[in-house]
Chain A
Amino acid sequence: MINEIGNIFLSISATLSLCMFAVIFFKKSLATNIRFTFCKYFSISISILITLSFLILAYAFLTDDFSLRYVANNSNIDLENVYKFSAVWGAHEGSILLWVLVMSIWCSLIILLSKNMPKTIIIDMISVMGLLLLFFLVFILFSSNPFDRVFPVPLNGRDLNPLLQDPGLIIHPPMLYIGYVGTSVPFVFAISVLINGSIKLEWIAWLRKWVIASWMFLTIGISLGSWWAYHELGWGGWWFWDPVENASFMPWLAITALLHSLIVSEKRGIFINWSILLSILTFSLSLLGTFLVRSGILVSVHAFANDPERGLYILLFLTLIIGSSLTLYFLKSNILIFHKQYSVSSKEFALLLNNLFLTITTFAILLGTLYPLISSSLDLGKISVGAPYFNFIFSALMLPIVFLMSPAIYSSWKKTNYKSLTKKLVFVLFYSLILTYIILNIFFETDVFVVFLAMFLAIFTIFSSLLKIYQVSKTNKGMIIKKILNIPSSSFSNLFSHIGIGILIIGITISNYYSVQKEIIMQKNSEIIIKNISIKFVGVQNKLSKNYSSQVGIFDAYSDNNYFVSFFPEKRTYNIQKNIMTEAAIDSSLFRDIYVALGENVSEDSWVVRIYYKPYIQFLWYGVGLMILGGLFGIFGRRKIEKKLANAI
């Protein structure tokens, strides 16, 4: 009974979404305030209804209601409660439900936090959101309904995919979806602006906050995915250029470009046309990602859930939404062009280059991801594009982007004094080179050119960001603390996210080039030495858990004959699906991870064991942490502009 209520709530939400979309057609006959109130109540009711049906589905999972096909396929009596809850978004139907839930909440937030924006713009944004919600809700109701019943009711469920039974996977999808769906905010903004035919710089300031928020959630989501892959897959890798990963990375690159072009649009009133196009592209890439992941046309050889019918629906939706918005852009974008002069040495130009390279990178990854499709439909044979292509193209294109960060930080709007720019740059370049040389020689004893280049870029970026913030604080008056407190938060946002990128690059480079890995057969009581650490294989014990049985390896690690830690890597066999999962054991410290994974049992006492020594891998997560901190400063610290916006109205 309660499940039918969930279903009815979804139907009502779909109807309300249609009404919300219809508001756009009553521009002439209804007063703005009335239309705004309608939108407000529609969107809030939709959020409440979808939240309720989401909770009803969660309740069905927690109470093991296997009369729902979706629950029967993705849960099990013995599953831990946490995973029963996260199983709600563990497969197709539930993740689309999570998608609309997140979208309805974004939608309500827009209307609640739009005090200083003109109501006509907000109404059109919300109406377009209504159309998007309608599409997804219809999709759920007709082809992916999680409330579908199954008869006869199975006694027990088929269990959640064991790969997904991991803490990292509990919050990864929601974070990613918040980011994904967040890209719809600049999209509906772009549509609304194109329809209304006018734009004000204060509106861009308002939009930037939303864009930073969705950038931040995308960053969190993607990095949690990597973190999960690193812990769960047992290969010691964290990024595989898998189509599903690319699907989330392309919107991230596009929204990073958007973030930077919006700065120029807001401060100088140019690139507006481009920002609008980027907003459309970013959301298009999010939709495309959903299509790629959900239609199964690009999934790996082991996914047997190919569903052309669902794919066709999303493709039609894609055609309609993206096609019509690009056409709208084509027809109306010429009214948004503002011409202003800027020189090659200006900040505008540096950010133009940043956007150019980010866009090219996005398209290079898109090309690589779609290439198997392109080649097969042109009958060039089935080819899959592997990591070497992506690694090469990505690092080659990232090089100029990272290198440009420092000149962009030091240059000024319109035109920079060449003399002072060169002076600063030469100073930073020189010391960064020396610093890189010293660090590499002392700590890594290396002269690999690629490592040197990457480390130099990272140090160059970090050094110039720090120097910039010092210079900004120097112009403030008063005591040191006051000087720091008076630094505008946008500078902090810039500082942390750019330093984050630098730290990330250090982590990637060093862990890639100086990892030591050993895959060997170890006998009980034998020892192996990896980077001055000796690891002793004590034995294997059997362990029984609620829904899996596992073999737990016991390894003791000694440094200079002093015991310091034990590793307990597991090989789990899940009772229902009979999958074997590796749970690697990892000892992390600031400068290195030791990673032990248990392989196959060769004979009675000997096992295949994989041991990795990964230096600086932790820097990856620190770098991401700093980028997120930068995002937080960007969202919460923009009071000055808010005031300006309030005064403008």
Chain B
Amino acid sequence: MLYRLSFIPILIFIAILFFLYSGLNKDPTLIPSPLIGKPMPEFSSPTLFDDNEITNQDLIGEIYILNVWGSWCYACSLEHNHLIDIYSRGTIKIYGLNYKDDKNSAINWLKERGNPYKKNIFDNNGNTAINLGVYGAPETFLINEKGIIIHKYVGPIDENYYNDVILPIINNE
């Protein structure tokens, strides 16, 4: 009786192994946002370089990438060159959401490293980011021409991610 029961730990272990193995190749940063399929939340903020207001209405009309960043964010500095590469291909416009940042250091940051963004929403109190459900920087959203959020990624993106994930979505739209 007990002899047969002693097989149970092995079974449990095999089950756990299966889940661990399948989890190994999945990226824990792929968290589906409840906002996917929903319209971009309304906002109205100054832009980074001048104080003109920018609202969600201004962005509607073509597909674009919204990248959440901050000059305080180390991972954003790793991501930045990749964004510039994506920008230089010219297939898609990138808007920035400058999140909880100091205006001057954000402007200097872009002057030093180059500016891949068409425009930057200056969200220093984080209100727009809260509506977007931002966990932290960097985060990247893809928004279609009707202003609907169609994709979200947490963490820095690079060319591979752009080629393998974002481009196919753009081409499907």
Contacts and interface: CB of A to CB of B under 8 A. Distances in A.
Interface string A275-314: 0010011001000100100011111011010101001100
Interface in A543-593: 577-580
A330 B10 contact: yes
A366 B27 CA distance: 20
A319 interface: yes
B19 A373 contact: yes
Given A370-B16, A370-B19, A578-B74, A277 B24 contact: no
Nearest to A298: B28
Interface in B1-60: 2-3, 6-7, 9-10, 13, 16-32
B87 interface: no
Nearest to A319: B17
B75 interface: yes
Given A301-B136, A334-B3, A370-B19, 6 more contacts: A273-B6, A315-B21, A323-B10, A330-B6, A330-B7, A579-B74
B96 interface: no
B72 interface: yes
Contacts of A366: 16
B25 to A, nearest CB: 6
B26 A295 contact: no
Contact of B31 (A281, A301, A329): A301
A302 B136 CA distance: 8
A382 interface: yes
Nearest to A375: B19
A18 interface: no
Nearest to B11: A326
A301 B23 CA distance: 15
A104 B49 CA distance: 59
B147 interface: no
B167 to A, nearest CB: 22
Contacts of B116: none
B24 A308 contact: yes
A306 B31 CA distance: 15
B82 to A, nearest CB: 13
Given A291-B20, A301-B154, A373-B22, A306 B2 contact: no
Given A330-B6, A330-B7, A333-B6, A373 B29 contact: no
A295 B24 contact: yes
Interface in A46-62: none
B72 A580 contact: yes
Identify the interface centre among A291, A308, A326, A579: most chain B CB within 10 Å of its CB.
A326
A642 to B, nearest CB: 32
A277 B27 CA distance: 34
B32 A381 contact: yes
B74 A377 contact: no
A297 B28 CA distance: 6
Interface string B60-86: 000000000001111100000000000
B74 A577 contact: yes
Given A323-B13, A334-B3, A373-B23, A301 B29 contact: yes
A608 B6 CA distance: 58
A318 interface: yes
Interface of A: 273, 277, 280-281, 284, 288, 291, 295-299, 301-302, 304, 306, 308, 311-312, 315, 318-319, 322-323, 326-327, 329-330, 333-334, 337, 366, 370, 373-374, 376-377, 381-382, 577-580
A296 B6 contact: no
B62 to A, nearest CB: 29
Contacts of A376: 22-23, 26
B19 A301 contact: no
A517 B2 CA distance: 53
Given A301-B154, A304-B155, A315 B24 contact: yes
Nearest to A158: B74
Interface string B144-173: 000000000011100000000000000000
Nearest to B7: A330
12 contacts: A298-B23, A304-B75, A304-B155, A308-B25, A323-B13, A330-B6, A333-B2, A334-B6, A373-B23, A377-B23, A382-B32, A579-B72
B20 A315 contact: yes
Given A330-B10, A334-B2, A306 B28 contact: yes
Nearest to B30: A382
Contacts of A374: 19
B153 to A, nearest CB: 11
Contacts of B156: 304
Nearest to B139: A301
Contacts of A311: 24
Given A301-B31, A326-B13, A377-B19, A312 B6 contact: no
A301 B134 CA distance: 11
Contacts of A312: 24
A273 B2 CA distance: 10
A291 B21 CA distance: 11
Residue among A299, A304, A366, A382 having the largest count of chain B Cβ atoms under 10 Å: A304
Contacts of A295: 24
A302 B135 CA distance: 8
10 cross-chain pairs, A with B, having the tightest CB-CB distances, nearest first: A377-B22, A373-B23, A297-B23, A334-B3, A326-B10, A578-B72, A373-B19, A311-B24, A330-B6, A326-B9
Nearest to B22: A377
Contacts of B21: 315
A621 B18 CA distance: 39
Nearest to B25: A308
A110 B7 CA distance: 31
A377 B17 CA distance: 12
Given A319-B17, A334-B3, A277 B31 contact: no
Contacts of A280: 9
